């Protein structure tokens, strides 16, 4: 049985892996807080969670999306397709995005101000991404909350997290599970090197704080 709710604009849903939302049944939906729960072991391979995320990103009316996976978390490797172009907050907790997907989302979502995700802090192939041609990844993101898997420093080149931070001209807050000192050091270097026209202004403005990414009440 399908349920159509044409005036529903907010949904806080604790759902099973086999339950999905259909755009045509929720034409006014703006705010979704959606998290998966299941005792089925196959959910942990991440397929269901990734499919849920992809379906939610296809909903054009969304302005605020929180999708919190059960632990252990999963990796999103395939390129995400986005249709919610007015999304302002994207919070996927500890779901790990590839660098390519992060860049794709930042460039596609022109009104995004809050972005919460996990990232492996090592370089991997990112087809179609030309960082030489592109400078700013987003002109709107102000708050970046990251769960960083891997080291934060001891690298002769910029790490993926540092590339992202350096390319957000309006960034005002960085929140991290760990690696606060390393990020503070990078922001100081970003100001000294002035790689981009906005680097010094961002370094002077941005605050860096420790958060618990496991706390779903943030």
DSSP H or E stretch at residue 186:
helix 180-193
Tokens of 125: 């192939």
Alpha helix (H) residue ranges in 59-169: 99-108, 160-166
4-31 pLDDT, tens per residue? 888 999 988 776 666 677 788 889 999 9
**Which pLDDT belongs to residue 94?**
86
70 Cβ contact list (under 8 Å, min separation 6): 35, 36, 37, 38, 43, 44
Q: What is the mean pLDDT of residues 101-115?
A: 96
| 51-69 pLDDT tens trace | 888 989 999 999 999 988 7
Of the given ranges (12-26, 55-69, 97-111, 142-156), which has the lowest mean pLDDT? Answer: 12-26
Lowest mean pLDDT segment, chosen from 9-13, 70-74, 102-106, 187-191: 70-74
Q: What is the predicted pLDDT for the residue at 18? A: 66
């Amino acid at each position: 049985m399908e349920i159509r709710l044409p005036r529903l604009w907010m949904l806080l849903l604790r759902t099973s892996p086999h339950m999905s939302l259909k755009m045509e049944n929720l034409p006014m939906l703006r705010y979704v807080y959606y998290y998966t729960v299941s005792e089925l072991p196959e959910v942990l391979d991440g397929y269901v969670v990734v499919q849920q995320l992809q379906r939610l990103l296809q909903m054009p009316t969304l302005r605020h999306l929180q999708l919190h996976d059960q632990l252990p978390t999963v990796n999103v490797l395939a390129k995400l397709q986005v249709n919610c172009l007015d999304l302002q907050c994207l919070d996927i907790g500890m779901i790990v995005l590839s660098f390519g997907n992060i860049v794709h989302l930042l460039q596609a979502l022109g009104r995004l101000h809050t972005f919460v995700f996990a990232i492996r802090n090592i370089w991997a192939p990112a087809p179609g991404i030309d960082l030489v041609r592109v400078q700013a990844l987003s002109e709107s993101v102000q708050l970046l909350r990251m769960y960083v898997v891997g080291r934060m420093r001891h690298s002769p080149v910029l790490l993926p997290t540092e590339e992202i931070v350096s390319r957000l001209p309006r960034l005002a807050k960085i929140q991290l599970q760990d690696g606060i000192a390393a990020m503070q050091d990078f922001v100081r270097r970003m100001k000294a090197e002035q790689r981009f026209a906005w680097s010094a202004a961002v370094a002077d403005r941005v605050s860096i704080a420790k958060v618990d990414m496991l706390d779903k009440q943030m």
